[in-house]
Amino acid sequence: MDHFSYIDGRLHAEGVDAHGIVERYGSPVYVYSARTLREHVATLRQAFAPAAPMICFSVKSCANLSVLRLLADAGCGMDVVSGGELYRALAAGVAADRIVFAGVGKSMDEIRYAVEQGVHMFNAESEAEMARLDEAALAAGKRVRVAVRVNPDVADAGTPAKTSTGGRQTKFGVPLSRAAALFVPGRHRGLDVCGVHVHLGSPIHDTRTYLAAIGRIEELVAEVERGGGRVDTVNLGGGFPAHYGRSEGGAELVDMGRAICERLEPLRARGKRFIIEPGRSISANAGVLLTTVEYVKQGWDRLVTVLNAGMNTLLRPSMYGAEHFMWPAQHGSHTGHWNALAGPNAFEPTDIVGPICETGDYFALGRPLPPMKSGDVLAVFSCGAYGMSMASQYNARARPAEVMVDGTEVREIRRRESYADLVAHEVDGMS
C-alpha cells in the first residue's frame, strides 16, 4: 500500500495537499512519499526473510540522490548499470561494498572506476567483458569479485517484449550452455568468479518464472562445482511487480517472496548467499506525477485533453504501452485510497495527451475520466519508477521538479530546470 489518498475529494501525499505542492513548486512535478519507500523496503525484507538477501535497489528506476540516500538509510545497497549511476550511489553516501555493478556494455573507463572504488561485485555479461575486468583488476593489483550473468532462456509471458530480458533472443547475459567454462579455476588471474546472476525482465507477474530460472541455476552451480569451480552467491535480479491501478493477475509480493525462498532453500542449506535487485516494487507506487490541463478540445469522435507534461516527462505509456491510473487531484467528495477510484464509470472517454510534436505523445487513449478544464491538476499514479529517470529535454522542454513528502514536511529534491539549463552544457563551436 502507498500513502496517496483523497480527503473530501482532494488528493493528499501523506499529510500534504497536492494542490499546495503545485502552487509552491509548479507543474509538472514528481512527488515521492518517504513513508511508502520505507515501507516497501520493509515489505521486501519480510517477503524474502528466509533467504536474507542483500537488497540492492535498482538505481535506474529512480535515481534521485535524496531517494537513494533514504533507501540506503533503510538498509539498501545499490544496483548500478553505468559509471554515472555508480557516481550517484556514492554521492548519496552508499558504501562501495554495498554496490553491485551490472549492465551489458560497460566501458573500460567505467570498469576501472568501479574497480578503483571497490564495488561489492560485478555482474559480467560476456566473456569479452570478463577479459576486460581481468585486465583492470591486474592493473589495479586487486582481486575482483564477479558473478556471471546467465541467459537461462526463461521468459515471463506477461512481461512486455521491450522489458523481457531472460529469453534467448535478447542481448543480455551468457548463454547457459557456455557459462560453466567461465568458472574454471585459473582462467582469470585477477578475478574471483564466484557468483551466478540472472535477471528475467520487469515486471514479472508469474512466480513460476523465477522458480524455473532457479532450477536452471541449480543445475549450473552443480556443473561448476563438479569442474572444481566455486559459487558462493546467487543474484536473482529484480523484476518484482508493482500495481498500476488495475488487476494484473500477478502474485502478491509476500507470496512471491515466500515461494522463491522455499525454492532457494537447497542452495541456502549449502551456504550460498543471495542478492536481489528490486526497483519498481520499491519506488513505482511511491511516486505520482502532478500535471496541469492546458486545453480540452473536441476531436472527431472523442475529447482530447492536452497536458503540460508529455512523453518527455513520462515515457512509459508511449514506449511500453504502460497503463497508469490517473484522476483529477480534486474531484467529488471521495475519502480513501486512490485505488478505490479505479472501477468502471460512465464518464466520457478522452485522449490524455502531451504537448510534444509526436503522435505517440500520450498518457492514455479513450480513457473514461471526469470532465476537466484548463488549469485543473491531473494526478498520474505509480510514477516513481522509470518516470523522472527516463525524462528528457525533447522539444527543448525543461524537466520538472521533484519533491519528497515525509508526513507533513515537503522538501524540493530536484529543482525545476530553466531555459538556461537547456543550453548550459553546449559550447559555441562556430566562433
Give the N- to C-terminal CA distance of the chain in Å, as an integer.
56
Region for 245 from its dihedrals, namely left if φ exceeds 0, alpha if ψ lies in -120 to 50, beta otherwise: left
Determine the Cα–Cα distance for residues 178 and 226; give it in Å rounded to an integer: 15
DSSP 358: S
Determine the Cα–Cα distance for residues 286 and 13; give it in Å rounded to an integer: 10
276 and 237 in contact (C-beta within 8 Å)? yes
287 annotated as a binding-site residue: no
239 annotated as a binding-site residue: yes
Residue 297: strand pairing partners: 304
277 annotated as a binding-site residue: yes
320 annotated as a binding-site residue: yes
With vertex at residue 161, the alpha carbon angle to CA 286 and CA 321, rounded to the nearest 5 degrees, is 55
30 annotated as a binding-site residue: no
Catalytic residue among 56, 76, 194, 357: 357
Residue 141 exposed, middle or buried by CB count within 10 Å (0-12, 13-18, 19+): exposed
316 annotated as a binding-site residue: yes
DSSP string, 395-412: GG-PPPEEEEEETTEEEE
357 in active site = yes
225 annotated as a binding-site residue: no
189 annotated as a binding-site residue: no
Q: Which residues are catalytic?
A: 357
Binding positions are: 239, 277-280, 316, 320, 358, 386
Report the binding-site residues for pyridoxal 5'-phosphate.
239, 277-280, 386
Binding residues for substrate: 280, 316, 320, 358, 386
